[in-house]
A and B are shown apart, each in its own frame.
Chain A
Amino acid sequence: MTWGLENVRVGFGHRIALDGVTVPAGPASVTVVVGGDGAGKSTCLKTLVGLVRPQAGSVRRPAKERIGYVPATAGLYADLTVQQNLDFSASAYRLPAGQRGQREQQLLERTGLAGVRRRLGGQLSGGMQRKLAVALALLHAPDLLVLDEPTTGVDPVSRAELWRLISAAAAQGTAVVVATTYVNEAARAASVVLLEAGKALASGSPDAILRGVPGVVGTAAHRGGGGRPDPLSWRRGVGWRVWAPDGELPAGVERAAPDFDDAVVVAELAAKAGR
């Protein structure tokens, strides 16, 4: 691991926000940190970029000017136009004047913002704001790109554009760390950290996480009027999923290959049972 968090503990007063969390970040690869609201994703990313100081553990990151960071809210100036936002970022990162025009044009075209250079940041739609914020963070071609929920509330079309931009940056050698609440986005990463209540429930490659699901997962049909077919079951589409930690599924439950959604639910159920 070139950069990232290792065994990091962060506390705010009496509350432990991160408890021994490791988040790898390597060149030309995408790490996704997945978790619901309050899992500790933002704290992870803030610690990585140096906005929060850990109480224990180590943090490795490139020099400040080689990082691109988009916080969960904003990441752009609402009262500046798209072009002024770009100019401001270019100046802040001391991008040589000769490189600016081409780089800006490239990013604006890729984000579909080329036609709105003169619009105020605050007047862009939510999806456009997120795309502009990511473009601003990419302007100086950082070594480490850190994005806090760039796709939350963003529609699938803009989400696909954002991910194409993120993967393209990784393909060019950037180390990328993305926080998200959308579990299916983890499948796009080389490395995944499942975060819940400040702890990593599971981590590794998407394949390794799927292979590492303990016990077996099955599907059961829904019987009208009935509740959960098993204490360790959850709703999925018109039926149910059932988890058998000991590998013995109840009668009438058919074994299924777990997907990423199942892997996350099992990790959450296992963590609850362990408490």
Chain B
Amino acid sequence: MTPVDALAEAATVERRFGSFTAVQAVDLSVVAGEVVGLLGANGAGKTTLIRLLLGLLRPSEGSVRLFGSPPSVAGRRRVGYLPQTLGLYADLTVAQNWSFTTAAFGIRAALPASIGTWRNDLVGALPLGTQREVAFAVALGHRPELLVLDEPTSGVGPLGRARLWEQIRQAADGGAGALVTTHNMEEAQECDRLVVMADGRVVVSGTVTDIIGDRMVTEVRCADWASAFTVLDREGFEVQAAGQGVLRVTGQAADVQKALATCGIEEAAVSTVGANLEEAFVAIVSGPAVSGPAVSGPAVSGPAVSGPAVA
């Protein structure tokens, strides 16, 4: 059943909390050498799924396997887990945090050289960026076979993020698998494969190209962007500013053009362009009626969305 190289696998897993079902019929696997991105809105079930895979929670239905067996402390030893909250003790030094973590999992390994500089510093006294580097080194220092990283680069600048990803990629080159959650769509594009969750279920998975598919958005270029934005916003279009004089709108170009013309905005250049990952994600997660390209635009004539009247 389980492919030999699946490092972590969930098979039709369900987890209920009382009457609330946090995770429902989820299938997911991470194999050696691949980086899988786990995306979803807050409350979609990502953290519950991670806790199930690590054995911190038991599934209500279905099965979870970590290195081919039910999750156990022996399995956890082979995992590098970076929680959102970093999982460090603020009132211990960097070296003490390392000793504590390695002792807890029965690992024998020296303090990674990359964090040696701060060996005797209290974690709580270090800048946030440095704390994150330390947490990363602690999670990866024992050369785990599976990395589970929950929002690993939140608050990190692009260069810092690229350096952390260098480490993730290096681990994957060496045969480790990685499961990474993120709200940052730039970061999501660093992954080999994405799994998108909504309301406890996997709603779509595949490469970035698979997920965007043939979704399109309408781009509006207009010197008077403010008037165009106000009109489209009021008419209930999902409209976003995208640079100077550029708007991106979910909806058919013809409908957008009509709405603008009706309000006397004539000199706008309207075209249809491919959606980006963020737009595709928002459409997938928030719209039940989104099945194809650009079908989700509200009809201009009808009050599709309760758009506030602008006095």
Instruction: State the A residues within 8 Å of B (CB).
Output: 28, 30, 35-39, 102, 105-106, 109-110, 125-127, 152-160, 163-164, 167-168, 170-173, 181-184, 187-188, 190, 196, 205-207, 222, 224-225, 228, 234-238, 241, 261, 264-265, 268-269
> With the chains together, A106 CA to B158 CA distance in Å?
37
Say yes or no: A160 contacts B129, CB within 8 Å: no
Known contacts being A171-B233, A184-B186, A235-B166, is A39 close to B41, with CB within 8 Å? no
For residue B65, CB closer than 8 A to chain A, the reply is: no
Say yes or no: A157 contacts B163, CB within 8 Å: no
Interface centre among A35, A152, A182 (most CB of B within 10 A): A182
For residue B255, CB closer than 8 A to chain A, the reply is: no
Chain B nearest CB, measured from A56 CB (Å): 25
Give 28 CB contacts A-B under 8 Å. Answer: A36-B129, A36-B157, A37-B127, A37-B132, A38-B128, A39-B157, A102-B311, A153-B151, A155-B41, A156-B278, A156-B282, A157-B41, A158-B41, A163-B240, A163-B241, A171-B226, A171-B227, A181-B157, A183-B158, A184-B278, A205-B244, A224-B173, A225-B173, A236-B190, A261-B186, A265-B162, A268-B158, A269-B159
For residue B242, CB closer than 8 A to chain A, the reply is: yes
Contact partner, A184, options B42, B132, B185, B308, Cβ 8 Å: B185
> With the chains together, A153 CA to B158 CA distance in Å?
16
Contact partner, B166, options A152, A154, A206, A234, Cβ 8 Å: A234
Say yes or no: B155 contacts A36, CB within 8 Å: yes
For residue B165, CB closer than 8 A to chain A, the reply is: yes
> With the chains together, A158 CA to B41 CA distance in Å?
8
Known contacts being A181-B156, A206-B244, is A234 close to B162, with CB within 8 Å? yes
Known contacts being A171-B230, A205-B244, is A235 close to B169, with CB within 8 Å? yes
Closest 10 CB pairs of A and B: A36-B157, A234-B162, A106-B308, A171-B226, A167-B241, A37-B128, A155-B41, A268-B159, A171-B229, A37-B155
Q: For chain B residues 281-311, which have a beta carbon within 8 Å of chain A?
A: 281-282, 285-286, 306, 308-309, 311
Say yes or no: A167 contacts B155, CB within 8 Å: no
Contacts of A182 in B (CB 8 A): 184, 186
Known contacts being A157-B286, A160-B238, A238-B192, is A196 close to B157, with CB within 8 Å? yes
Say yes or no: A38 contacts B129, CB within 8 Å: yes
Say yes or no: A264 contacts B243, CB within 8 Å: no
Minimal Cβ-Cβ distance residue in B for A181:
B155
Chain A nearest CB, measured from B203 CB (Å): 13
> With the chains together, A153 CA to B282 CA distance in Å?
16
Say yes or no: A265 contacts B158, CB within 8 Å: yes
Say yes or no: B151 contacts A236, CB within 8 Å: no
Say yes or no: A168 contacts B229, CB within 8 Å: yes
Contact partner, B243, options A156, A170, A188, A224, Cβ 8 Å: A188
14 extra interchain contacts, Cβ-Cβ under 8 A, other than A184-B278, A235-B163?
A38-B127, A109-B308, A127-B42, A154-B42, A155-B41, A156-B41, A156-B183, A156-B185, A156-B278, A163-B241, A164-B233, A171-B229, A207-B244, A235-B166
Chain B nearest CB, measured from A35 CB (Å): 6
> With the chains together, A154 CA to B42 CA distance in Å?
7
> With the chains together, A225 CA to B169 CA distance in Å?
10
Say yes or no: A234 contacts B230, CB within 8 Å: no
